[in-house]
């Protein structure tokens, strides 16, 4: 009886640990695809991509426009920065995307999904953007 209970508790613990590993693998996978640094801070999902600002900006616009669950609200482009605002019909969330040229041919993408931020949805959006970089 006690062995079965211990085995059950151990199994649940292992499942919970592996579940967090899956999330970590997804985030690391995003960094590998993007080719840069990924971190989540204060509701902002931030990725550094080794591509110039114009290329990342075009990929971002394409990712928003090619997905029917998003609506492009506003976009602007300047010399060293760009801003894209969109709306997610499925969740009813506003999405704010700030692009900043941080080094020669390196761009920082900062995504805020909703009022408080959503790490998983932001990571999915970054994956859609990086697919358009090729």
Residue span of the structural domain in which 8 resides: 2-131
Helices marked H in 35-52 — which ranges? none
Residue by residue, pLDDT tens for the chain (134 residues) are 666 666 557 667 677 766 655 455 444 454 444 456 888 889 999 999 999 999 999 999 999 999 888 999 999 999 899 999 999 998 899 999 999 999 778 999 999 998 888 899 999 999 999 999 87
Cα–Cα distances in Å, from 127 out to 34, 62, 75, 89, 118? Answer: 8, 12, 20, 19, 14
Residue 3: what pLDDT? 66
Number of domains in the chain: 1
Q: Fill in the DSSP letter of residue 51.
A: S
**In a 10 Å sphere around its CB, with 0-12 CB exposed, 13-18 middle and 19+ buried, how is residue 85 labelled?**
middle
Residue 39: what pLDDT? 82
| CATH number of the structural domain spanning residue 89 | 3.30.310.80
Tell if the pTM clears 0.85, that is, is over it.
no
Residue 5: what pLDDT? 62
Nearest Cα to Cα of residue 85 among 93, 77, 70, 74: 74
Phi, psi of 49 (to 5 degrees): -120, 130
């Amino acid at each position: 009886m006690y062995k079965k209970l211990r085995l059950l508790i151990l199994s649940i613990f292992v499942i919970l640990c592996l579940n967090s590993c899956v999330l970590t693998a997804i985030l690391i996978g995003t960094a590998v695809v993007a080719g840069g640094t990924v971190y989540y801070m204060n509701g902002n999902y931030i990725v550094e991509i080794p591509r110039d600002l114009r290329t990342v900006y075009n990929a971002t616009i394409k990712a928003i426009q090619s997905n029917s669950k998003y609506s492009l609200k506003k976009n602007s482009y300047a010399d060293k920065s760009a801003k894209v605002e969109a709306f997610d019909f499925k969740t009813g969330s506003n999405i704010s995307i700030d692009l900043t040229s941080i080094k020669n041919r390196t761009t920082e993408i900062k995504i805020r999904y909703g009022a408080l931020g959503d790490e998983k949805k932001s990571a999915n959006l970054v994956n859609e953007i990086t697919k358009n970089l090729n």
